[in-house]
Chain A
């Protein structure tokens, strides 16, 4: 991927993101934040390659720690978002 293509991708996705997420009701501010935060744990896939490629001791160690941090971010983020959203849905069902 050339730098220009990467930059194009970056800029277009930012615009796409701004279009996708306008007018979010306040109730969803926290879930949106924690859910999108879990998505930012995508850095995990880079960490996997660093940790698993046995290049040098240093890069493997950095990768190993990165995998742990990113996994906490990803698993914790999606789960806690799900917990909040289930809570929101819970009382909806109980109410007639």
Chain B
């Protein structure tokens, strides 16, 4: 058996491991094994690649591999669960960036060897564009999630975006038609990098789950098109698997927001559409404020309690406090459930990860479809740091910017306690009639402190 044969068979086994790995990641029981299979596939692929006779200097490779592994491991071990969205965005970006560099390197090599034909050039151009957009798009998403980037674009951004997009597509055509002119490729990479920045910079927090899922899909597609450049089936298979899974997640997120991908990327934020509406006619003097002691008394006589977490829970780092509250409520025989909206937080599954960190079990975390029919039998619902996903206007007011968005029907429970800093609107920039509802009580303050206060008051009741 020749060396190329061994490499090919190694790649085939790796491809099978990736397929089984992704399948495993879709079910709770098999997820850890699935992840392990994916990692084994990757290790095998790297090992057999080392047999490639084109590789002659191993020292540089070893250095790069060691640095990369150390940085990757450090990030993975150190990251706090609340910062998970940032890390996922960053890893996405690195994958996309690596694809661009590989495509450029092998395209330049092909030019010099006189092998650069239109087909190779087209694949390289596609990788350069998608990978560059993924890279800068992810980096911008990273800084926005860290909240260290306040810039959210400039007037005329949509026009600039459309123009850069047209230029980029023209450059793809030029690269494909004139494979020997390197300048086209460099210009295309530059256009892609700019496009990534101006496509993500205006995207608001609540749209982040869609953006992260989409960038995830992009990083897969970029790897796949790199496979076309390198003529490597394993890259095509692994890349398109990731592309498909990213696409599914994107679709789930979009459905949960009642927005299409195009609306998220191309349209103004709902807040901008809503403008500065006057909230006084919604709230009037009908907002009832409450205290931790009063909430504790309500909980004391409740049989079933539902907690609805939102991004505010992550900001306040209230997951452990919430767990303690749940434990003491359960100790006195009450049923406690969590109702989780698909886009609560800043990435798909954000709330589940946070609550799992606080050792709150699967069986307590219910999806929107499971929890909604149960609100009418719920005595107290506590909303922590969520706003738009519990806004009944989505259901009742056809003129609302979020009309039609699936929401958690918390207003159907006997009493709703909303823990929030103020009456300020959420991402959609609209008032929430829930806060003024007869069965709603506002507990103003920091999410974590409020939950701790309730738990403390519960003991003394």
Query: Which residues of A are at the interface with B, using a C-beta cutoff of 8 A?
Result: 1, 3, 6, 9-10, 13-18, 20-56, 58-60, 62-92, 94-95
User: Are A10 and B224 neighbours in the complex by a CB distance under 8 Å?
Assistant: yes
Q: Which residues of A contact B237 (CB under 8 A)?
A: 9, 13
Q: In chain B, what residue has the closest Cβ to A79?
A: B76
Chain B minimum-CB-distance residue to A32: B25
Q: In the complex, which residue of chain A has the Cβ closest to the Cβ of B85? A: A30
Q: Would you call B97 and A17 a contact (CB within 8 A)?
A: no
Contact A42 B235, CB 8 Å, known A17-B22, A69-B98, A79-B77: yes
Contact (Cβ within 8 A) B356 A37? no
CB–CB B112/A56 < 8 A: yes
Known: A39-B21, A63-B101, A89-B32. A70 touches B244 (CB 8 A): no
Can you name the residue of chain B whose Cβ is closest to the Cβ of A3?
Answer: B119
Q: How far is the CA of A82 from the CA of B35 in the complex (A)?
A: 7
When chains A and B are docked, how far (Å) is the Cα of A86 from the Cα of B119?
45
Q: Which A residues are CB-close (under 8 A) to B41?
A: 39
A95 close to B361 (CB less than 8 A): yes
Report which B residues bind A (CB closer than 8 A).
Answer: 18-19, 21-23, 25-28, 31-32, 34-36, 38-39, 41-42, 45-46, 49-50, 52, 54-58, 60-61, 64-65, 67-69, 71-73, 75-77, 79, 81, 84, 87-88, 91-92, 94-95, 97-99, 101-102, 104-106, 108-109, 112, 119, 212-213, 216, 219-220, 222-224, 226-249, 252, 340, 342, 347-350, 352-353, 356-357, 359-362, 365, 367
CB pair A38–B39 under 8 Å, yes or no, is yes
In the complex, the number of residue pairs spanning A and B with C-beta atoms less than 8 Å apart equals: 377
**Contact across chains for B68 and A67 when beta carbons are under 8 A apart:** yes
Question: Hey, which chain A residues are within 8 Å of B35, CB to CB?
Answer: 31, 35, 78, 81-82, 85
* B residues less than 8 Å from A82 (CB atoms): 32, 35-36, 39
**Given A14-B244, A36-B241, A64-B64 in contact, is the A45-B71 Cβ separation under 8 Å?**
no
